[in-house]
Structure 1
Amino acid sequence: MREITYRKIVAERFGGAEVLRTVRATLPQPPRGHVRVRVLAAGVGFTDLMARSGDYLLQRRTPFTPGYEIAGEVVDFAVDGEAPSWLEAGVRVAAALTKMAGYTEYITLPLWQLVPLPDGLEPRLASAVPLDYLTALSLIDTHARLKAGDTVLIQGASGGVGQAASQLGRLRGLRMYGTASAPGSRDVLARHGVRYIDYRHEDFEAVLREREPGGVQAVFDHIGRANLSKGYRILAPGGVLVSFAFSGRPGHMVGDTLRGATRLRLMNLRPGRRAAQSVVPWEMKSRRDSYRAALARLLDLAHRGEITPQIVATRPLSQAADVHAALERREITGKVVLTAD
């Protein structure tokens, strides 16, 4: 084994897209239980933009490399005992990361984080699966424990996690409502069986009280603030409100996130309903086998075309700063994937 010289994107300080720089680094031989991977594609998530600006609670130090999800191919590895039968140089893999580091040409990861791709699944598509779909699966299975026929409200249903939850919910036979406002959202959500609520012109609480007077079994929320109380009020007895993000005020995201998490805990002091928070990087660490099984299942669904990440743009890794700027200006709306130059 030899050292590998490679390029990665680094946020040198917190700030706008201009703080992202391409730097050269050296990757040493992998330690025991680790694999070196050549990254072929990396998904771009909204959390990456938050982390770069300093508004993400799980990334509070610079410098760092953004990115929570990758697909690539195995270069080499060092394992204790017998290696899994699938593990060999050249095998294509995907991973969700527990710590940001995905905007890179090469990466060293613990073996447990890697899942082999089904034969024929394109790395670009695979890199768009881990974060959004693992989050959606966490909402539906881990926290809400929904079954066919249950009713759910998905806030921000046209976003990455929202569309993932909609697609998985359709496969599960859920009855779904979704808030959105982007052009074309009604048609997109209708394809997944989601009943559209235009949050700019409709009060979702009033709509659900009229259409579902007995309440809904779950609400998936990424907004926080007053939405948490409104979502909690439309729950059926025994229902659950699950937060997967907090859309705080610019410059106050960390404080608003902490306040939102505290609000969820206080809600659990009330009888009859529950509140929970989904944080996939934390859940991965505590349930490694469940993570691997879930990601393998999602990649298989993507390979069969039963779930379809909505990739709107593919850009070379070196254009990461331009991608962040375009997303913030809303010149691009949707999932972007960075690929090896």
Structure 2
Amino acid sequence: MTEISYRKIVIERFGDADELRTVGAAMAAPPPGHARVRVIAAGVGFTDLMARSGDYLLQRKVPFTPGYELVGEIVDLGAGDEAGLEPGTLVAASLPKMGAYTEYATLPLWQLVPLPDGLDPVAAATVPLDHLTALSVLDTHGRVGRGDAVLIQGAGGGVGRALSRHGRLRGLRMYGTASAAGSDELLAREDVRFIDYRHQDFEAVVRDHEPGGIQGVFDHIGGSNLGRGYRLLAPGGVLVSYAFSGRPGRMVADTVRGAARVKLMNLRPGRRAALSMVPNELSADHTWYRESLRRLLAMAADGSIDTAVGAVRPLTEAADVHRALERRELTGKAVLTPA
């Protein structure tokens, strides 16, 4: 097995999109239990932008290659259990410590889940992180059931849309906050009652329709929204936080503060509060990760879940994609395609 020369995006210091640099690298033969993968498509998420700026708690060291999710083709495998994999197999993966903005990657076999026949690789790259987070929120932490009422904060975002789709499939009664143009129509397709948080008080709207309280609040904003959402819960209800917004330059501190607040909420009797941190969860439970991603890819193949691609750009234009996301110019998932 020969060495492979390739390109990848590297961030050597925290900053704006100009810090995304394309560099050359060389990859040796894969060690036992690993495979070399030629990357076909890599998903781009807002966590990548936070990591680039140094405002992401789970990625605070440079240099690193951003990107949590990819789809690629196995080139070759090291010795060891091949788990039914072979060269030429198309696979998807979610990476616990990023690294997807690259032409080639060496990955452990447990991370690689084969694509179902007929599923477009670019569409598949929109699935792993957002939909695994949705399953973590709904199943691992939320444990809500058919007919339960829930509030999805930021329902127009990637995870928010995934939660809306899975919630509709499970028969949840959903309320969703959003502000982007067209959010009302987008959420109506998933049977989500739209709340424009710029002009409406979400707490008042939910209380008006659910005077007895709701069973779940799914939050990625933090701050004062945590307390307001928690107050909406009926006895036995749960607030699940899966991310935190914060002040520029203070995101890490605000994230730590928000996580501590969620843990303190969980000490109160009668209701629950939980943190969903998918990068850590998939490392801790390989079986859950593989079974969940296999099921999600099958759902993408049969059209049960949405794989809306907002933009497809070459890997070398990663900086332009980050800028477009920061300006809120893209709807749907952005995907990078290496040469």
Is TM (by shorter chain) over 0.5? yes
SS of 2:57 mapped into structure 1: coil
Q: Deviation per CA, 1:221-266, whole angstroms, max 9, x where unpaired?
A: 0100000000000001111100011000110000000000010111
SS of 2:64 mapped into structure 1: coil
The percent of aligned pairs where both chains have the same amino acid is 68
| Cα pair 2:11 2:19 within 8 Å, conserved | yes
| Cα pair 2:132 2:278 within 8 Å, conserved | yes
**How many pairs does the alignment contain?**
339
SS of 1:308 mapped into structure 2: coil
Give, in whole Å, the separation in 1 of the partners of 2:324 and 2:273: 35
Match of 1:53 in 2: 53
Match of 1:134 in 2: 132
Listed as ranges, the gaps of 5+ residues in structure 2 are none
- For 1:72, give the aligned amino acid: G
| Cα pair 1:164 1:309 within 8 Å, conserved | no
Match of 1:203 in 2: 201
Give, in whole Å, the separation in 2 of the partners of 1:63 and 1:289: 30
How do residues 251-266 of structure 1 correspond to structure 2 at under 5 angstroms? Answer: 251-266=249-264
Give, in whole Å, the separation in 2 of the partners of 1:101 and 1:240: 33
| Cα pair 1:73 1:90 within 8 Å, conserved | yes
Give, in whole Å, the separation in 1 of the partners of 2:194 and 2:318: 33
Match of 2:149 in 1: 151
- For 1:84, give the aligned amino acid: A
Segments of 4+ moved more than 4 angstroms: none
How do residues 5-16 of structure 1 correspond to structure 2 at under 5 angstroms? Answer: 5-16=5-16
TM-score by length of 1: 0.98
SS of 1:23 mapped into structure 2: strand
Match of 1:213 in 2: 211
Listed as ranges, the gaps of 5+ residues in structure 1 are none
Match of 2:176 in 1: 178
Q: Which has the higher mean CA deviation after the structures are superposed, 329-338 or 22-31? A: 329-338
Match of 1:84 in 2: 83
- C-alpha deviation, 1:151, in angstroms: 1.0
| Cα pair 2:217 2:229 within 8 Å, conserved | yes
SS of 2:107 mapped into structure 1: strand
Give, in whole Å, the separation in 1 of the partners of 2:330 and 2:150: 28
- For 2:244, give the aligned amino acid: F
- C-alpha deviation, 1:79, in angstroms: 3.6
TM-score by length of 2: 0.99
SS of 1:257 mapped into structure 2: helix
Give, in whole Å, the separation in 2 of the partners of 1:281 and 1:181: 28
- C-alpha deviation, 1:334, in angstroms: 3.3
Q: 1:227 is matched with which residue: 215, 225, 228?
A: 225
Q: 2:292 is matched with which residue: 290, 294, 298?
A: 294
